[in-house]
Structure 1
Amino acid sequence: MKQILQSSLWAHRDVRLVLPARALSYAGDAIAMVALMLRVKEYGGTGAITVLLLAFAVPTVVMIPVAGRIVDSYDSRAVLVWATALQAVAGVALAFSHDLVSTVGLVCLLQVGQAIAGPCWGALIPRIVGEGLVGRAIGVSQALIGVAMLVGSAVGGVLVEWIGGRDALLVDAATFGVLTVVAGLVRTRRRPALGAVKESGGFSAGLRTLLGDPLLRVLVVCLWVFVVVGEAVNVVEVFLVIDEVGLNAAGYGWVLAAQGAGAILGAWGSGRLTTSAHRARAVLAGVAGIGLGMVGMGAASGVVLLVLGAVITGAGGGLLNAASSTLIVTRVAEAVRGRVVAALSGTVRACSLVALPLGGLLGGVFGPRATFLGCGVLCVVGAMGAALLVARTKDSAEEVVSH
């Protein structure tokens, strides 16, 4: 019994602190997103909404050169406490802002904290649980985050209605306060080794590590292309659901909930994977699943196929995110994990910025249904092509074990 307990993910004290606290913070983020979308909608319609979405994405890209270097060069406790405290302060200020300029500026400040905290948590979790439980930890963490975001999205509108947008944003700020306390309580720490020669470069070191691994090189490039193609449909999704299929706003919310439920299942299932080969296949299966789900949604004339496609799309996304995250942190040296996670996050965000105008262009020229169908087919074909490249990759390197 003692051996079973020791091998359990939840036997680790820091896991019991970090995973629930991060999930709570994501629930707060979902609440805040609802409140901010409703606030900004009144400031300037679709143009203001676009500016808000850019404010969430751009800081992650801008911070690529420095975020990873900060994570790998300083004590993780100090980095996490300061980054989450910055988010808490920005969240409080955001609650009391009254115009578009200050709202966008404070969202950017909030995301600067996230650009640092995200890679730091990503690099710390393997140190907390040990290399053998990394896959399970990431899968469980992303499943919990998926549940939290579903709950947060569901109650966000209700909270705004009941207590107002300002207090709903203060709820989000409070969750960052909780995360700051947890960051200070976590016993496991990442520190640069005494006397170690620091590798120059932040983004360049992270990207060089990613592309230096034969397997990751294929999968990361595939991921970049997929994000550009796959996320382009986000721009036209609401038009597909409401204008093409004929659902109302509540129906659109249920479609998003179906995607979220699928993502939870996909993330949870990824925790059973134990080798690089299995995780690589899961990444490609996730891309193909998203493509198939998009084709199903694009072909849907009624609710059943639309929701089924949404669940498949979500499951593929959950599997892709969890498997790729685990694959990357288990195949790179511990000393550069912060820079690697930051480089991946930033480049993926940059691809998302490309996907935004591309989706608008495709939707305007071909319509939402054809955009879904075309992008879905490209994702499936791309996954098949990447699978052939992976099969031909000479991958003699196993997971990197760091202590």
Structure 2
Amino acid sequence: MTLTRANAVLEFVRSVGMLIGPIAGGMLVAWGGTSNALLLDAASFVVLAVIVLGSGLRRPAMTPAESERATLWREYLPFLRDTRITAMIGSLTLAVYGTAIADVAFVFLVTVSLAAGPTAFGVLTACWAGGMMAGAAAAGTLRMPHSVPVAFAAAVVMGAATLAIGIVGTTMALGIAVIGIAFLFGGAANSVYNVAVRTTLQREASAGAHGKVAALYSAATNGAGVFGFLTGGLFTPDHATSAYVLGGSICIIAGLGGWLIFPLSRAGWR
């Protein structure tokens, strides 16, 4: 299995979970109430822990000498010097910040801007997850010899879909239909983006450094998500469409900017 296809399979399974999870959660709440649903949710993490422990996956332990030399700065400095990795992570972190601004406004987009109910909320959520499944399946068929431009192009498409949602998300009749289509395209681009980003970072780093590069990317994007949620909260509940316009614009700028900057960067740690 190629690296791209392996990442696509991972993304497809993740997308299936995103589609089935809300449905299962709604059924559990209707069947036994919120408390029982949350207890079963917690139990699923226990099952996951048992699976991981039983899988045999282990992180190689450092020798005492390696442990004495290891510091956080020394472990990650070589990757921070690699301008290809920092350019990739930096630009895509900005894209995550833009999408997070829109994410936090989603519920208000549906309930306030569109004045719609839970059915519309569920349908639109399913559209994004369905788009992600389609995007993951499509990404698995791509060879992606050059995954970098694919990642940045997918970020631009996500931004364009988000921007379109903000522009049309003011009228109930037109808004629901167009937003549903935009969510399908945005979700598909989201999966292609995730597959391309993982593939690129794994190709840029040696096999033994995959964990550290993934940790850097996760730390940067999770931080961007936090600030994106805080920014998006400034637009709620009455200006959710403005959050989508801002978030989409930032995502487009991040994708185009990264596309221009990355070819100028160089690997500095090999």
Normalising by structure 2, we get a TM-score of 0.84
Q: Which consecutive residues of structure 1, in runs of 5 or more, have no partner in the other structure?
A: 1-8, 10-132
2: CA distance, partners of 1:395 / 1:272: 29
The equivalent residue for 2:75 is: 205
Give the residue type in structure 1 aligned to 2:75. A
Match 1:292 to one of 147, 156, 160:
160
Q: Greater RCO between the two (CA within 8 Å, min separation 6)? A: 2
Q: Secondary structure at the match of 1:246?
A: coil
Judged with a 3 Å threshold, the aligned counterparts in structure 2 of structure 1 residues 212 and 267 are, in CA distance, closer, same or farther, namely farther
The equivalent residue for 1:351 is: 224
- The offset of 1:143, in angstroms, is 0.9
- The offset of 1:151, in angstroms, is 0.7
**Matched residue count:** 264
Q: Is the 8 A contact 2:94 2:250 kept in 1?
A: no
The equivalent residue for 1:392 is: 264
Judged with a 3 Å threshold, the aligned counterparts in structure 2 of structure 1 residues 263 and 211 are, in CA distance, closer, same or farther, namely farther
- Name which of structure 1's ranges 146-155 and 370-379 shifts more when overlaid on structure 2: 370-379
Alignment of 1:324 with 2:194, yes or no, is no
Q: Is the 8 A contact 1:228 1:355 kept in 2?
A: yes
Give the residue type in structure 1 aligned to 2:28. L
What pairs up with 1:4-403 in 2 under 5 angstroms? 9=1, 133-187=2-56, 189-192=58-61, 197=66, 200-202=70-72, 205-206=75-76, 208-274=77-143, 278-300=146-168, 301=171, 302=174, 303-363=176-236, 367-394=239-266
- The offset of 1:391, in angstroms, is 3.1
Q: Which consecutive residues of structure 2, in runs of 5 or more, have no partner in the other structure?
A: none
Q: Is the 8 A contact 1:203 1:342 kept in 2?
A: no
2: CA distance, partners of 1:395 / 1:273: 25
Q: Is the 8 A contact 1:236 1:363 kept in 2?
A: yes
- The offset of 1:332, in angstroms, is 1.9
- The offset of 1:260, in angstroms, is 1.1
Q: Is the 8 A contact 2:134 2:188 kept in 1?
A: yes
Q: Secondary structure at the match of 1:164?
A: helix
Q: Is the 8 A contact 1:261 1:314 kept in 2?
A: yes
Identity %: 23
Q: Is the 8 A contact 1:289 1:315 kept in 2?
A: no
Stretches of 4+ moved more than 6 A in 1?
193-196
1: CA distance, partners of 2:216 / 2:263: 26
2: CA distance, partners of 1:203 / 1:270: 35
- The offset of 1:187, in angstroms, is 4.6
Q: Is the 8 A contact 2:81 2:268 kept in 1?
A: no
2: CA distance, partners of 1:258 / 1:209: 41
Residue by residue over 1:25-45, the C-alpha shift from the partner in whole angstroms, topping out at 9 and shown as x without a partner, is xxxxxxxxxxxxxxxxxxxxx
